[in-house]
Amino acid sequence: MSNTTDSSTHQIRIWDLPTRLFHWLLVVAFILAWLSQGDDRYLDIHVFSGYLFLGLLAFRLIWGFIGTHYARFYHFAYGWRDVWDYLKTLLTKQRQHFLGHNPAGSWAVFVILGLGLIVSLIGLLTLGGEERHGPFAGMIGFAYGDMFHQWHDVMAWLLLGLIGIHILGVVVESGLHRENLVKAMITGFKIPPNSLFSKEPIRENIRVHRHGLIASLLILVVIASSVGYFWGYLTQSEEQPYLPFVGPDLPDNALWDEACGECHLAYHPTLLPARVWQRILNEQHDHFEEDLDFDEETLVELHTFAVKNAAESMQTEAAWKMQHTTPPDYSKLRITKTPYWLEQHQNIAEEIWQHPDVIFQGNCAVCHLDAEQGTFEDAAMRLPNNEIPEK
């Protein structure tokens, strides 16, 4: 490397503004997605960052064809021989210096882009299967969603590993060429290398446009979609709490709501297996010491609705889990005695059950804002003192 005293005047712009914005927004989206993973209460943030991630990747794919010189894929489409040559001479004086991505770096970029797309797409399949949200909602069963979830995790770890290698490469190259590549990705400027070591002809005459308009549009789209996504958070009040991750619209029945909602919440049929609903209706004259006394016609309609939408229909995560954990010989007529319910609520402190608002355990709506709809999303839970429950 030549000395750097006058090189500052020799800087040329390599990374255009959209490429730099893409790079750092991708970093933000990845960190957000990583921090919000694994806990369903932050699923809305996770899904949002996933969409942002995917949107950014889609932008980068387009930019790889229509962007400025150094951002275009053809400019850094190196073969494996170039990578080998680059790595072979890396620690010698013959090492090559590139203005854009070096061959090893370019491979990292392609693999990160490809793997990022795979992770996001598998994430959408998980979302469709497990939560019945997103473009694949209703097309994939819960069990497949669960399988995709595992792949999503594996691929995300792979992606993290690659990002680690990429960062290591940046540190190594910055050190070897005494050039701060992180700064270059912020300012866009790099110092043209001494042409003796450069494999690449220096093309200072290339005009790298600033693309201010496209960049501003990009920022606007990102801000607008973020605000749109989180509008509920921004405008929530006590009367209208934010229901961030509202599940699918479950089938509803006016007679069921009226007949069963008179004394307590009209529990959604997805919360118990069909055989338990059948027993509840058959034993209507001795319903927890109440006589429900429905006529035959009413009973038939309630029965049809309950059986059709019972846990077996697996319309929600809770239904799926209830269906898979309630033993065939379960003999109680309660939701609150099922193994699944007991497991989910075992960590709730006794004083919370004693809170005057709770009244009894079957009063799901005090803690689950979406209890009426029957979806029981994690993000819609509040404890009676208005605290968000701790895991």
Candidates 81, 93, 207, 391; binder of ligand HEC (CB under 6 A) is 391
Is 343 an interacting residue with respect to ligand HEC (CB under 6 A)?
no
Candidates 368, 375, 379, 380; binder of ligand HEC (CB under 6 A) is 368
- Go through the chain and tell me how many residues it has: 391
Candidates 1, 251, 363, 372; binder of ligand HEC (CB under 6 A) is 363
330-335: long-range pairs with CB below 8 Å, 24+: 330/273, 330/276, 333/276, 333/279, 333/280, 333/283, 333/288, 334/362, 335/267, 335/271, 335/272, 335/362
Candidates 37, 174, 278, 361; binder of ligand HEC (CB under 6 A) is 361
Kindly list the distances between the CA atom of residue 8 and the CA atoms of 145, 179, 187, 350, in Å, as whole numbers in the listed order: 53, 12, 13, 68
CB of 359 to ligand HEC, least distance (A): 8
CA-CA distance, 276 to 269, in Å (whole number)? 10
**Cβ closer to ligand HEC: 69 or 287?**
287
**Cβ closer to ligand HEC: 108 or 302?**
302
CA-CA distance, 113 to 287, in Å (whole number)? 59
Is 367 an interacting residue with respect to ligand HEC (CB under 6 A)?
yes
CA-CA distance, 358 to 341, in Å (whole number)? 16
Is 290 an interacting residue with respect to ligand HEC (CB under 6 A)?
yes
Find the part of the chain contacting ligand HEC (CB under 6 A) among 91-99, 208-216, 284-292, 323-331.
284-292
The residue type found at 150 is: Q
**Listed residue (316, 276, 342, 8) closest to 132, CA to CA:** 316
Instruction: For the chain, report the end-to-end CA distance as a whole number of angstroms.
Output: 55
Candidates 171, 263, 300, 342; binder of ligand HEC (CB under 6 A) is 263
**Cβ closer to ligand HEC: 40 or 85?**
40
**Cβ closer to ligand HEC: 93 or 391?**
391
CB of 381 to ligand HEC, least distance (A): 5
CB of 227 to ligand HEC, least distance (A): 28
CA-CA distance, 352 to 384, in Å (whole number)? 7
Residues 21-80 that bind ligand HEC (CB under 6 A): 40
Candidates 249, 262, 283, 387; binder of ligand HEC (CB under 6 A) is 262
**Cβ closer to ligand HEC: 28 or 381?**
381
Residues 204-223 that bind ligand HEC (CB under 6 A): none
CA-CA distance, 218 to 224, in Å (whole number)? 10
Kindly list the distances between the CA atom of residue 170 and the CA atoms of 164, 165, 167, 188, 357, in Å, as whole numbers in the listed order: 10, 9, 5, 15, 57
10 and 190 Cβ atoms separated by less than 8 Å: no
CA-CA distance, 267 to 334, in Å (whole number)? 11
Residues 300-339, one symbol each (x = binds ligand HEC by CB under 6 A, - = not), give --x--------------xx---------------xxx---
Chain centroid to Cα 107, Å, comes to: 26
Find the part of the chain contacting ligand HEC (CB under 6 A) among 109-117, 145-153, 218-226, 381-389.
381-389
**Cβ closer to ligand HEC: 111 or 348?**
348
**Listed residue (140, 185, 93) closest to 314, CA to CA:** 140
310 and 269 Cβ atoms separated by less than 8 Å: yes
Is 246 an interacting residue with respect to ligand HEC (CB under 6 A)?
no
Is 250 an interacting residue with respect to ligand HEC (CB under 6 A)?
no
Is 275 an interacting residue with respect to ligand HEC (CB under 6 A)?
no
Dihedral sign for Cα atoms in the order 323, 295, 284, 366:
positive
Is 352 an interacting residue with respect to ligand HEC (CB under 6 A)?
yes
Number of residues that bind ligand HEC (CB under 6 A): 39
Find the part of the chain contacting ligand HEC (CB under 6 A) among 74-82, 154-162, 247-255, 358-366.
358-366
Question: Which spans of this chain sit near ligand HEC (rule: CB under 6 A)?
Answer: 40, 259-260, 262-264, 267, 271, 280, 287-288, 290, 292, 302, 317-318, 334-336, 344-345, 347-348, 352, 358, 360-364, 366-368, 376, 378, 381, 383, 389, 391
